[in-house]
Amino acid sequence: MGMRWVLLVVALALLATVPAIAASPDEKPGVGKAFGAGKGDEIREKMFQERKEMMTAWLQNCDRWMERLRARVEESNIGQESKLRIQERINNVENRINEIKARIESAKDYDELRNAMRESREIWLGISKEMRMIAYENYVSHIDNVLRKLDEIADRFESYGLDATQLRNAINEANSTLQSVKEKMAGGTVTPKDIAELNKKVMNAFNEAKRLAREYKPKPSDGILMANVNGNFTLTGNMTALIKGNGTFDYVEATAKSESKGAAERIEALVVRGNVNVNGNGTFKIVAHGNGTLILNDGSASYVFKQCVNQKFVNGTLSKGESISFGC
């Protein structure tokens, strides 16, 4: 009898333990396969959200960058035709970016986003180079303008009496690199390294201009005249003046220490100082600091001048027989 009870207990114990041993470790009661699939979906959903947000932010940055590029092109000094041509290229790039945007935005889940990204990559490969080329074209047109301004500043320094040789050399180097970059751009071979090199040269010239600007301190009684003359002119007074151009030319300059006279034909640039009396016939750019008068004997002239250093620049033109006086 006792033996029967023992067998019954053993049988019941076996019934209770065998299913538990037979079950795989993953198939836990109450959890099973449904748990693993849920976690995978959760990860994919999280990745989908993250990547979509990242791409949306990137697309917004693209939009903002393109808008700024458009504004920079608009305010540049390039001709209207060139502007329209670049704006058209910007429009094309923007349209392609909008295509990427539409694909990313319409993706509803991970798989759709993955497909959208694959298509977007193809579109991006087609437009990223174009974006870079437009950016370089804009950069080059602005650098052209910057170098022109630096050249004008060098004229100012020289007409004030500062030695602008280093600045001129730096501008020339930058101009030469700019020409090389323009040629490479035309051939479609320009690289980021070329642009970096140009930037370095421009910064050298700019830093030299900044250095000289610290030494540029005209007296409050000085006037400043910058004129473009085409014809016959006389410049008299007490000043330092830079005269650049082509034509016949004679001058007297007298300082406390010396007096000199001279004549030149087809001059490139000349600086006169002290009590000067200059007569020239041809096409000239005149930049003067001090007190004096420019008389136009014949031809035409345009000018920008300040009566006194602390005043604002005023534009004007001269006709035959007219004159402009500067200095306080």
**Can you give the binding site for other proteins, defined by CB under 8 A?**
47-48, 51, 58, 61-62, 65, 68-69, 72, 110, 113-114, 117-118, 120-121, 124, 128, 131-132, 135, 138-139, 142-143, 145-146, 149-150, 153, 156, 192, 195, 199, 202-203, 206, 209-210, 213-214, 216-220, 306, 309-310, 313
For residue 259, the minimal CB distance to other proteins (Å) is 27
Q: Which is nearer to other proteins, 264 or 309 (CB)?
A: 309
Structure tokens at 6: 């023992």
Count CA atoms closer than 13 A to 165's CA, side-chain side: 1
For residue 318, the minimal CB distance to other proteins (Å) is 22
Q: Which is nearer to other proteins, 84 or 213 (CB)?
A: 213
For residue 213, the minimal CB distance to other proteins (Å) is 4
User: CA 73, CA 326: separation in Å to the nearest integer?
Assistant: 37
Q: Which positions ≥6 away from 34 have C-beta within 8 Å?
A: none
Q: Which is nearer to other proteins, 120 or 236 (CB)?
A: 120
Q: Which is nearer to other proteins, 150 or 267 (CB)?
A: 150
For residue 197, the minimal CB distance to other proteins (Å) is 13
For the stretch 94-128, what's the b/e string if a residue is b when 16 or more beta carbons lie within 10 angstroms of its beta carbon?
bebbeebbebbeebeebeebeebbeebeeebeebe
Q: Which is nearer to other proteins, 35 or 65 (CB)?
A: 65
User: CA 221, CA 235: separation in Å to the nearest integer?
Assistant: 18
Q: Which positions ≥6 away from 55 have C-beta within 8 Å?
A: 104, 117, 120
User: CA 75, CA 302: separation in Å to the nearest integer?
Assistant: 25
Q: Which is nearer to other proteins, 89 or 124 (CB)?
A: 124
Count CA atoms closer than 13 A to 57's CA, side-chain side: 6
For residue 224, the minimal CB distance to other proteins (Å) is 8
User: CA 103, CA 84: separation in Å to the nearest integer?
Assistant: 29
For residue 256, the minimal CB distance to other proteins (Å) is 19
Q: What is the largest CA-CA distance in the chain?
A: 147
For residue 180, the minimal CB distance to other proteins (Å) is 18
Q: Which is nearer to other proteins, 213 or 269 (CB)?
A: 213
3-state class (DSSP) for residue 155: helix
